[in-house]
Structures are given as structure tokens and as C-alpha cells.
């Protein structure tokens, strides 16, 4: 059982929904980013989604694009991202970490070496947005064999014909993208999301977590109420971009987590 599986089992026992927080590794710099990541579990975050900075983040909106650019300009790399996770794990052996990014940095490092290093650092799962299911032999299946969950995105355009292919080698949880488009582009609507979550859950026993367009404790509660939990990313990243101290950002995260946990 992975840390992700264990976390969902724990939440089910407690009758709670999951709150997942996305932050960009290295934004605005390594030290501040590490402080923020270390503070997330205490703010009520169940799973940390850690963004891997990349030069061409096609699925991300301007807020996260700028965060990635700040991180890259500050010297953040794949290795430093793994170092950050290693440092985090010195004090926290239980909170799951999902690395979210694009395939190019992984490919450049070499899949086998990357998986070994990711597992050693303490990463539990991967979301690689530019590798479709048709390319599962490239990374997804090797990752599963290495003991890492491979989390797939489903979207409003993933119809019933496509959905089984998307779910085929997915593990950990399914990430349902609540809107069509990039991150931070629009607000998620529980009335639209609920039926889609039901449709997905009819074809899988995996938890379904909803992300994109969730910015407030109220929307976190509303979306978590119709799913197994929710992800907030751009709203947290925007707090960092505003130059707020880590303590203020974690207070904001705490309010979001409380909203999700009320669902």
C-alpha cells in the first residue's frame, strides 16, 4: 500500500474528504519553497502536489506559468526538486507527495534513473500531463513497477468511449479537471462536477479528486462534497506571488483545507 492509498484509507475511516494542495517547487526560491512545503501538513493538507518547473507548461495558466518561471530563474532544477523532497522527508514520513509536471525533464534524466531517484527521495506518485495513455510503456508502467502511483487526468471532454483507456493503468486516484482549459481560468461548479464524478466512479474504485477553478473555502467545500476531495493550486501560488510570508500563505491553506474537510 502506497502512502497515497494509506491516506485515503485513513480519510475514509474518519469520514473526511481529501484536501490536496499544489505548490511550485522553488517558487520564489528553494528555501522559501521548502518552508512552505514543510508547513502544509500542519495546515491540514492531506496530499502535497509538487510542481516541477518546466519551460513550456502548456496545461498551466498564467499564475502557475509565472511561478515556474520564477523557480527556473532562481536556479530550480529536477535535482533540486528531488533534494527538496528528501529534506521534507527528514521530518515527515507519512504525507504523500505527488510530483506534477511534464515529461521532458524526466526523459532527459533517463526514466530508470529518474524513478530510482524519485523513489529514494520519497515521492509517492506522478502526474505527467503530456503523456497520453497510448504512451504508458514510456513511463506509466515502469513507474508502477517501481512502486510509484501514476495518476491520470480526466476532463469534461473525456467521453465514455475514452474513459476506460484513461483509467486502465491509473493508480492512487483519478484527477478530474473540472473545466475545459488551463489552470486558474474559470471557477469550478459543483452542479457540473457532481454528475461527472459519478460517471467516473461507475468505472473505477479509485478516489476521484477534483481540481482547477477552486479558490475559496466555500468552493473547496462545495466541490469536495460531490467528490472524494479537491485540489487547490493557482490560488495558493497567487498568495506566494504576492510576496506574502509563508505563515500567511499557510493560514490561507488552512482555511481551504477546513472547507474541504467540512464537506
Bridge partner residues of 19 (DSSP): 230
Q: CA-CA distance, 102 to 132, in Å (whole number)?
A: 11
The sign of the CA dihedral 82, 39, 93, 125 is negative
Residue 50 and residue 85 in contact, taking contact as beta carbons nearer than 8 Å: yes
For 115, residues 6+ apart whose C-beta sits below 8 A from its C-beta are: 142, 143, 146, 148
Residue 76 and residue 48 in contact, taking contact as beta carbons nearer than 8 Å: no
Q: What is the DSSP letter of 199?
A: H
For 205, residues 6+ apart whose C-beta sits below 8 A from its C-beta are: none
- Single out the catalytic residue among 5, 46, 60, 228: 60
Residue 49 falls in the annotated catalytic set: yes
Q: What is the largest CA-CA distance in the chain?
A: 47
SS3 136: coil
Residue 60 falls in the annotated catalytic set: yes
- For residue 68, give the nearest of 184, 220, 214 by alpha carbon: 184
- Single out the catalytic residue among 5, 27, 46, 49: 49
Is the peptide bond preceding residue 28 cis, with omega within 30 degrees of 0? yes
Beta carbons within 10 angstroms of residue 130's beta carbon: 14
Active site residues: 49, 60
Amino acid at each position: 500500500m502506497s502512502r497515497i492509498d494509506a491516506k485515503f484509507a485513513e480519510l475514509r475511516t474518519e469520514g473526511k474528504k481529501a484536501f490536496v494542495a499544489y505548490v511550485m517547487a522553488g517558487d520564489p526560491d528553494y528555501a522559501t519553497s521548502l518552508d512552505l512545503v514543510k508547513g502544509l501538513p500542519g495546515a491540514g493538507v492531506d496530499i502535497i502536489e509538487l510542481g516541477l518547473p518546466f519551460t513550456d507548461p502548456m496545461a498551466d495558466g498564467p499564475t502557475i506559468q509565472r511561478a515556474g518561471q520564477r523557480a527556473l530563474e532562481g536556479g530550480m532544477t529536477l535535482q533540486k526538486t528531488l533534494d527538496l523532497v528528501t529534506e521534507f522527508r527528514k521530518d515527515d514520513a507519512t504525507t504523500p507527495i505527488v510530483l506534477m509536471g511534464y515529461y521532458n525533464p524526466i526523459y532527459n534524466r533517463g526514466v530508470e534513473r529518474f524513478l530510482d531517484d524519485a523513489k529514494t527521495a520519497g515521492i509517492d506518485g506522478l502526474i505527467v500531463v503530456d503523456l497520453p495513455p497510448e504512451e504508458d510503456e514510456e513511463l506509466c508502467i515502469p513507474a508502477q513497477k517501481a512502486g510509484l502511483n501514476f495518476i491520470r487526468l480526466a476532463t469534461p471532454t473525456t467521453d465514455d468511449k475514452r474513459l476506460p483507456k484513461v483509467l486502465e493503468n491509473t493508480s492512487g486516484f483519478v484527477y478530474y479537471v473540472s473545466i475545459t482549459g488551463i489552470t486558474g481560468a474559470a471557477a469550478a461548479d459543483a452542479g457540473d462536477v457532481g454528475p461527472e464524478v459519478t460517471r467516473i466512479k461507475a468505472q473505477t474504485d479509485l478516489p476521484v479528486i477534483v481540481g482547477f477553478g477552486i479558490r475559496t473555502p466555500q468552493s473547496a467545500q462545495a466541490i469536495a462534497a460531490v467528490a472524494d476531495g479537491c485540489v487547490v493550486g493557482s490560488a495558493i501560488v497567487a498568495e506566494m506571488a504576492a510576496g506574502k510570508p509563508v505563515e500567511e500563505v499557510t493560514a490561507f491553506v488552512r482555511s481551504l483545507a477546513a472547507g474541504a474537510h467540512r464537506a
